[in-house]
Amino acid sequence: MREIVFDTETTGLSPDKGDRLVEIGCVELFNRVETGRHFHAYFNPERPMPAEAQAVHGLSEAFLSDKPRFVERAHEILEFIGDSPLVAHNASFDFGFLNAELGACGHPSVCLTRMIDTVALSRTKHPGAKHSLDALCTRYGVDRSARVKHGALLDAQLLAQVYVELTGGRQIGLMLAAEVPASSVERGAPGADRIVIPIKARPPRPHHASAEELAAHAAFVGTLSDPLWTRLVDPSGPPA
């Protein structure tokens, strides 16, 4: 199953009050294994960057001034995410901004039935514990040493590892990402990407002893002195 783990950075907390999305990072998983494919982009929000928001993600108004607007790359985002489930941490926040930006440029919203919230998963699995991304990285031993500030792609990559642990750990994939060759990814219409895994049938294994093995066994048994089984008596047979 294909899933997309994503994260966003914004100018503030509320798209309803004019805040805009300034960065998105998406990581592709197939059967809970990272495939190596990702999407990452910065956007010019066409509005000032509040100091409070810049302190969180480090993206200044000057840095974003020459970046494309969301509308210019919306089709790339939609093509990458396709119709896959979307995983995010406190997902209603990220969905809110993504759908606000899509709506502003005439695209339909992403259906909320596709939303998987890792905060909700964490609350169910670890009631009473801390549920921040940092806390979950610590709990599951995910290295976050590169996370000096929030960054959409880095946070999505960290969250992908946390999500795998929240949903059962590495063993549930039953295969390594390296086993899915790039040539096996079929391209089609937007959202139709799928990974085809070639399977080579193995001839059935013999589960009976060969004539040589039976002869070797008989020769070995013949070397035994007074084997235990010669003393066994069938209780259903005639009395001694």
Catalytic residues: 150
d(C-alpha 160, C-alpha 163), whole Å? 5
The verdict on whether residue 7 carries a ligand-binding annotation is: yes
Torsion on CA atoms 48, 54, 60, 64, rounded to nearest 10: -70
Q: Tell me how many degrees the CA angle 66-15-73 measures, rounded to the nearest 5.
A: 40
Q: Are 80 and 39 in contact (CB under 8 A)?
A: yes
C-alpha–C-alpha distance, residues 26 and 178, integer Å = 20
Q: How far is CA 19 from the centre of its chain?
A: 29
Does 52 carry a binding-site annotation?
A: yes
Residue 57 is assigned to a ligand binding site: yes
Structure-block tokens of residue 219: 């020769």
117 belongs to an annotated ligand binding site: no
SS3 162: helix
The token pair at 136 is 């979950």
Tell me if 10 sits within 8 A of 22, measured CB to CB.
yes
- Within the chain, strands assigned E span 2-10, 21-30, 33-42, 86-88, 115-117, 185-186, 194-195
Binding site residue list for a divalent metal cation: 7, 9, 155
Binding site residue list: 7, 9, 52, 57, 155
Binding site residue list for substrate: 7, 9, 52, 57, 155
